[in-house]
Structure 1
Amino acid sequence: MTSAQISPRTTAEPTSLTTRSLAPDLARGAMLLLIALANIPWYLWGAEQRDLSQHPVDGSTLDRAVQTVMLIAVDARSYPMFAALFGYGIWQLYSRQAAAGTPHREARALLRRRHWWMVAFGGVHALLLWAGDIVGAYGLVGLVLVALFIDRADRTLRTWAIVLTSVLLAAGVLALISAALLAAAGADLGASGQVGVDTGVAEPSYLASVLDRVVTWAVGAPAQAFLTGTIPTAVLVGILAARHRLLEEPERHLPLLRRTAVVGIAVGWLGGAVTAAQHLDLWGIPAALDWGFLFLQTSTGLLGGLGYVALFGLLAARLRRRERGPGRVAWALQAVGKRSLTSYLAQSVLMAPLLAAWGFGLGAELSSATAALVAVGVWLLTVGLACWLESAGRRGPAERALRRLAYRR
């Protein structure tokens, strides 16, 4: 009998909605607000941009303030946070299968199917709506890291995570120093180019935009997954954290969570502040040298994202000590987190037709400040959807489809 034949009968059932841990879902729910904020500047197709970020190069004082906050606290910080939570979920699923007596080969096969289907979901998402899809990239990372690391010792994962993080931070600092030295030397670097990623949002024809999105995603998904190294590193840290139940039992790990939150957020915000200053042309470094800040932004964003995860672990520990329970806000965030895939896809369902040129085209009319308001509004709509599903005791449709395909039942 083949592995495919026995998998449906030997794998454990998915976790029920009522037995999930508070902290991971709480973090996912809040993280989706950050993702909405991070994605929406890409829809401002009527604005001039430069290589440093997708934010417009001009705007009012309020717009500049919004851009600064985004560069410091949101950009390149939300997706590493998502990646760490994704890695945490990988180990939760794998360990639950092991506890139910599922052979390791079958548990790995389940994860492999799940991650291949994530790649497929991402491809359809890009085909229909959003070239910047991240679900496919996470699926690719999951395929590689599960094969290489899922049964390796903690020491191996810890060593790889430390080495990769150190290399990324060193590369970010060296790139920044190189850019500063070139600027001091007065090197003739030419003009800065425009952002070269074609997400199809400026294309008035929907059919033509499909081709733009698919080509961009086919190149961009593997690049997002492996080129910067931040997502694989965050996933490894997430797996390691799940092995020690840092978010399921945060009360036992408060000192570690506090250190991670303080150091991670401090480094993340400091790196973002340096990048924001370049965006505002405060350093006197030519825009052609923006690449020196991009590496710093992504490498410090890794630590910032991990710091955010630790912060929500601390918040969950505090909420669990309350006699009255988590409260309505935490309940709503947890409802979104339980349906993070549905909520993430729903953001594109709402944003793309509203903002893209092939839809209502409002992206050409918005500024950074008004776009941020739209992002918050879209996220609030997904919160309402998740709360309705939670009250009805129903999973999100995307989660239900992914579980059915992965578990084959």
Structure 2
Amino acid sequence: MTIDEGRPRLRGPLGTTGRAPAPDLARGFMLLLIALANTPFYLYGRATSEAGFHPVDGSIPDKIVQAVLIIGVDMRVYPMFAFLFGYGLAVIYRRQGENGTPEPDAFRLLQRRNLWLIAFGFVHALLLWGGDVLGAYGLCGLLLVWLFVRRADRTLLIWAGVGTGVLLLLAAFSVVGAHVTLSTGQAAGGGAMPDFVTASASAENPLVAMGARLMLWPFLVLAQGLFGLAVPVAVLLGFWAARRRVLEEPARYRRLLLPVAVAGIAIGWLGGVPHALAHIGVLGGLGEVMWVFSTVQMITGLACGIGYVALFGLIGNRLTDRPPGWVRTAVTAVGKRSLTCYVGQSVLCAPLLAAWGLGLGAVFGSAGMAAFATGVWLVTVAVAVALERRGHPGPLEVLLRRLVYRTPTGAAATVDQPPAR
């Protein structure tokens, strides 16, 4: 422990060695799912479903891709991201306490980090991607750290249960409402999306697209970060799991991780099947009530996202005592630099896909866009591996830690990011 005028210094996050594999693997793979989830937004110039951005037309390969994404990706990735975000905050808070940092200083560190994430998210939305999640998670983190980081484990689980219960009620009311609508024949569609929601991809004028992104971003920060409930619930569960070191010591929690992985993924995938079948036209007669799947997907997506995290905990347990192969090395390299790779996806996607750039979003179908998204992720993998071989963190990780830990310019490069973001 380093002492400065009798006070312990804020300690930076873990280095690249001695890290549990599960969080890095989960974040690295999660970024592939994020690319697959986000890029359909750029398929502008065609009619889309009321429950997402997937086009209602397309070839057979397009329909297959749409169904797979609805079942396994849409609304499933962000709870996974939120859980890992909460896990990382709790790990940082725990390690500051282990280092002897006074609790008020550790608390302010977390809140400073959340504030800077909101700032990063604003710049990200201003320049590239209105669907940014950094601001949403930063705002959620500010509120939940203030309310819950000092609370007991039981309190975390109770409030996570309350949030889950509210989501279940919303889904149930939506299903009842859809049934009434179909039974009575009354139209109750969700209506067209506001123009600013799609204009950031379809606008040819860069300034118009920027204005649309700045209108969309605050809505998502509030709707996804707080009012959507799935993100706060996942963050609270991440707090609890980090206190128990579930992903750092997965062997101890295999009897928890296995049923959570099986049940969570099963609920998520089975729950997405009706939406997928309705979207591709196999399940007919639901055109007037497609909006029902927006709330149903939230609760099934929460279960699936937590299930995905549990699955990577089990994978991490299997890999703990094994030498890392090239696949594990590559995916974990991305996970260690998740902030840089997340924003890097937008750097690669927006200028190529949006109408103000090359406009490839109007050319691709769903299958072509999924291939493009995978290619974008592979580019970030190549960059992350190159940085890993040189022992360098991601540039945005360096910038964030300089701002959060207030390290000198020379020292910042020697401190590595937290085990889960």
- Range class of TM-score, shorter chain: over 0.9
Change (3 A) 1:315 1:394: same
The code of the aligned residue for 2:350 comes to A
Matches within 5 A, 1:109-188: 109-188=108-187
Matches within 5 A, 1:236-275: 236-275=236-275
Q: 1:332 is matched with which residue?
A: 330
The code of the aligned residue for 1:361 comes to G
Residue 238 of structure 1: SS of its match in structure 2? helix
Residues in 2 aligned to 1:8 and 1:381: alpha-carbon distance in whole angstroms: 43
1:270 Cα deviation from its structure 2 partner: 1.3
Residue 49 of structure 1: SS of its match in structure 2? coil
1:308 Cα deviation from its structure 2 partner: 0.1
User: Does 2:293 match 1:297?
Assistant: no
Residues in 2 aligned to 1:201 and 1:65: alpha-carbon distance in whole angstroms: 24
Q: 1:366 is matched with which residue?
A: 364
Q: Is the 8 A contact 1:250 1:317 kept in 2?
A: yes
Change (3 A) 1:13 1:76: same
Q: Is the 8 A contact 2:261 2:306 kept in 1?
A: yes
1:17 Cα deviation from its structure 2 partner: 1.8
1:180 Cα deviation from its structure 2 partner: 2.0
Residues in 1 aligned to 2:321 and 2:179: alpha-carbon distance in whole angstroms: 49
Deviates more, 1:330-339 or 1:170-179: 170-179
Change (3 A) 1:175 1:321: same
Residues in 2 aligned to 1:219 and 1:171: alpha-carbon distance in whole angstroms: 20
Residues in 2 aligned to 1:103 and 1:142: alpha-carbon distance in whole angstroms: 20
State the 4+ residue runs in structure 1 displaced beyond 3 angstroms.
Answer: 5-9, 188-192, 281-286
Change (3 A) 1:174 1:282: farther
Q: Give identity over the alignment, percent.
A: 50
| CA deviations over 1:52-105 (Å, ceiling 9, x no partner) | 110001001110000000000000001110000001101110000000001111
Residues in 2 aligned to 1:294 and 1:329: alpha-carbon distance in whole angstroms: 35
Q: 1:89 is matched with which residue?
A: 88
1:194 Cα deviation from its structure 2 partner: 4.7
Matches within 5 A, 1:5-404: 10-189=9-188, 192-194=191-193, 197-322=197-322, 325-404=323-402
Residues in 1 aligned to 2:79 and 2:339: alpha-carbon distance in whole angstroms: 16
Residue 12 of structure 1: SS of its match in structure 2? coil
Residues in 2 aligned to 1:342 and 1:8: alpha-carbon distance in whole angstroms: 32
Residues in 1 aligned to 2:7 and 2:57: alpha-carbon distance in whole angstroms: 55
| CA deviations over 1:351-405 (Å, ceiling 9, x no partner) | 0000011111111000000000000000000000000111110110111100000
Residues in 2 aligned to 1:258 and 1:135: alpha-carbon distance in whole angstroms: 30
Q: Is the 8 A contact 1:198 1:213 kept in 2?
A: no
Change (3 A) 1:301 1:290: same
Change (3 A) 1:302 1:216: same
| CA deviations over 1:27-65 (Å, ceiling 9, x no partner) | 000000000000000011122213111000100111000
Change (3 A) 1:153 1:194: closer
1:181 Cα deviation from its structure 2 partner: 2.5
Q: 2:418 is matched with which residue?
A: none
1:192 Cα deviation from its structure 2 partner: 4.8
The code of the aligned residue for 1:298 comes to M
The code of the aligned residue for 1:373 comes to A
| CA deviations over 1:333-360 (Å, ceiling 9, x no partner) | 1100000000000000000000011111
Q: Is the 8 A contact 1:199 1:216 kept in 2?
A: no
Structure 2 unpaired stretches of 5+: 408-421
Residues in 2 aligned to 1:8 and 1:74: alpha-carbon distance in whole angstroms: 46
Change (3 A) 1:290 1:7: farther
Residues in 2 aligned to 1:180 and 1:79: alpha-carbon distance in whole angstroms: 28
Residues in 2 aligned to 1:231 and 1:178: alpha-carbon distance in whole angstroms: 25
1:190 Cα deviation from its structure 2 partner: 6.3
Change (3 A) 1:189 1:219: closer
Change (3 A) 1:100 1:191: closer
Q: 2:416 is matched with which residue?
A: none
Q: Is the 8 A contact 2:157 2:240 kept in 1?
A: yes
Structure 1 unpaired stretches of 5+: none
The code of the aligned residue for 1:22 comes to P
Deviates more, 1:272-281 or 1:360-369: 272-281
The alignment's TM-score, normalised by the length of structure 2, stands at 0.92
Q: Is the 8 A contact 2:51 2:294 kept in 1?
A: yes
Change (3 A) 1:195 1:63: farther
Change (3 A) 1:340 1:6: farther
Q: Is the 8 A contact 2:133 2:221 kept in 1?
A: yes
Residues in 2 aligned to 1:93 and 1:133: alpha-carbon distance in whole angstroms: 23
Change (3 A) 1:199 1:263: farther
Residue 54 of structure 2: SS of its match in structure 1? strand
Residues in 1 aligned to 2:278 and 2:215: alpha-carbon distance in whole angstroms: 30
Change (3 A) 1:142 1:189: closer
Q: Is the 8 A contact 1:169 1:300 kept in 2?
A: no
